[in-house]
Structure 1
Amino acid sequence: MIVKIVTVKTFSILIILLMLSACETSSTSRTVSSNSGSRITSSGDFNRAKAAKIRLGAGLQYLQAGSLKNAKRHLDKALEFGENSGAIHFALAYYYELVKEFPKAKKSYKKALKLDSKNPDFLNGYASYLCGQKDFKQADEYFQKAISTPVYPEVASAFLNAGVCAKRNNQFDIASEYFRKALNRNSKLSLALLEMAKLQFRDEKYERSFAYLKRFESMIKNPRADALWLGLRVSFFQKDRDAKASYANKLEHLFPDSNETAEYLDNKSQWM
């Protein structure tokens, strides 16, 4: 992931933002329609639309790199050149959410939706924001709006985010159903696989948990602390000593300062 701690929400929103940026940069006319349906016009010799697109793209690249100060600088310039671009307001909303300026985040999300109330990416992103604010009921309403949008390419992302939100609200059966729907639409959605593995472990269905975990591992390049910790515990209950030792070794050496490693070491005698 892009910012230091990878979360499902961060992963999904950055995918959406990068897609929006690609849409924004695909037009070449002097009067440009953004992905949000709003219009940016250029004036004189200076093409404000092009400048806005360039600044938006740069801002997203810095967001992806975790350089928030530089991201904000470019996004502010993008807004200066294209104040009616929903994509720019959406990107700014996500920036404000990252830096925990929640009132500004909400205002920017609402501005993006005002410019295009039916944009499923905006609906998905705002729903994720509401979930982060523990407004679970309204979050699910916005997820449903995004999911019900005809021919939404990122509908699997919306199901994934809805599942994470339901899980956060301790609605585990609903979360599981959302994750299954996400995987039905994209069987290679790695984070949905990991979430299913965690839910199966919670239900003490260790073989199913391990199967989902192995599918997840086959699709990622770099290990994650939470996945290794899950693998260690599943292996323990399956009485697979070799797998347990392998997961434990990777967890300790690759993520010595993680919460998962601390939890393991605090109770090492129990697991080994």
Structure 2
Amino acid sequence: MKTKDFLPVLLLLALLQACVTSGEKQQSPDKAAQYNAQLGINYMNQRGDLEQARIKLEKALEQDDGNALAHAGYAQLQSVVGDKKKAEVHYRRAIALEPLNADHHNAYGVFLCGEGKTGQALEEFDAAVDNLYYKTPELALNNAAVCLTDSGDNARAEDYLVRAVKANPKYSPALLNLADLNLGAGRMELAGAYYERYTQLSQETPRSLWIGYQIMRASGDLERARQLSDTLLSQYPNSKQAGELLTSTVND
């Protein structure tokens, strides 16, 4: 697992809370700020239009500097464009405004982990998980596990992943990460069990095919391994995992 395997930080939650059409008039600065914050986050996460995201989020902050969603969205944007100092300022501001918002803690945790601040990141993930009103603690638990894996602490990462699956037995990213961790530890029976659970819930990806291939090969199921390798090479020939597969077969 790598930092890029973090799950989205749920800033789009606001878009689920209130759907506002473009023709709807805003009656007050705080409502206008919320609307522009939502638009900015949508431009960034759904369309990849960072310039429009910047315009909308800065407008939202202009309209209401006390809007936590605008600060959280602007923090994410600044992190994407590489202004880490500004990102941290706005993550902290969002949390100060809404200290009980678990999504803000989760998002800040992802940011801190990307900066190599594992201890501080775990504090934020734990703050999210400890919030009894947080509907999706498995997201923060999985993110904490990815962070710990990146720092080399696989034992603690596994504990977080087990908790994620306990919180939501159908949460496939944690199942795949558990398969990967057990593969690395040589526990093939467990790795295979988690992998099979993953495949029952989610479509295969280059990463899952590569993990599955390694598990089946190590377990002696060469026919299944061949099927997975064929699928990986035919459907995702340009993926990093396809390259790793080709390299591994050349070296065998």
CA–CA distance in 2 between the matches of 1:77 and 1:211? 50
CA–CA distance in 2 between the matches of 1:177 and 1:71? 37
CA contact under 8 A between 1:8 and 1:191: conserved in structure 2?
no
CA contact under 8 A between 2:172 and 2:202: conserved in structure 1?
yes
CA contact under 8 A between 2:3 and 2:146: conserved in structure 1?
no
Q: Which residue of 1 aligns with 2:54?
A: 72
Q: Which residue of 2 aligns with 1:35?
A: none
What's the CA shift for 1:112?
A: 0.6
CA–CA distance in 1 between the matches of 2:175 and 2:182? 11
CA–CA distance in 2 between the matches of 1:111 and 1:263? 42
What's the CA shift for 1:46?
A: 4.8
Match of 1:102 among 78, 84, 102: 84
Higher mean alpha-carbon deviation, 254-263 vs 125-134, is at: 254-263
Q: Which residue of 2 aligns with 1:33?
A: none
CA contact under 8 A between 1:56 and 1:74: conserved in structure 2?
yes
In structure 2, runs of 5+ residues without a counterpart are 21-25
What is the identity, as a one-letter code, of the residue corresponding to 1:190?
A: S
What's the CA shift for 1:66?
A: 2.7
Are 1:236 and 2:232 an aligned pair? no
Q: 1:128-182 CA deviation, whole Å, 9 max, x = no partner? A: 2111111111111222222222332122212111111111111111100100101
What is the identity, as a one-letter code, of the residue corresponding to 2:161?
A: F
CA–CA distance in 1 between the matches of 2:3 and 2:112? 19
CA contact under 8 A between 1:21 and 1:56: conserved in structure 2?
no
Are 1:48 and 2:42 an aligned pair? no
What is the identity, as a one-letter code, of the residue corresponding to 2:11?
A: L
Match of 1:17 among 11, 19, 22: 11
Q: 1:1-50 CA deviation, whole Å, 9 max, x = no partner? A: xxxx99442x330xx21223433x389xxxxxxxxxxxxxxxxx853333
TM-score when normalising by structure 2: 0.88
Secondary structure of the structure 1 residue equivalent to 2:100: coil
What's the CA shift for 1:79?
A: 2.2
CA contact under 8 A between 1:163 and 1:175: conserved in structure 2?
yes
Are 1:86 and 2:94 an aligned pair? no
Q: Which residue of 2 aligns with 1:209?
A: 191
CA–CA distance in 1 between the matches of 2:236 and 2:144? 29
What's the CA shift for 1:270?
A: 4.7
CA–CA distance in 1 between the matches of 2:133 and 2:93? 24
What is the identity, as a one-letter code, of the residue corresponding to 1:128?
A: V
Residues 201 and 135 of structure 1, relative CA distance in 2, 3 Å threshold: same
Secondary structure of the structure 2 residue equivalent to 1:128: helix
CA–CA distance in 2 between the matches of 1:83 and 1:107? 13
Answer 1 or 2: which has greater helix percent. Answer: 2
Residues 60 and 252 of structure 1, relative CA distance in 2, 3 Å threshold: same
Q: Which residue of 2 aligns with 1:219?
A: 201
CA–CA distance in 2 between the matches of 1:220 and 1:66? 25
TM-score when normalising by structure 1: 0.82
In structure 1, runs of 5+ residues without a counterpart are 28-44
CA–CA distance in 2 between the matches of 1:49 and 1:203? 52
Q: Which residue of 1 aligns with 2:23?
A: none
Residues 220 and 69 of structure 1, relative CA distance in 2, 3 Å threshold: farther
- Identity, in percent, stands at 27
Structure with the bigger RCO (C-alpha within 8 Å, sep 6+) is 2
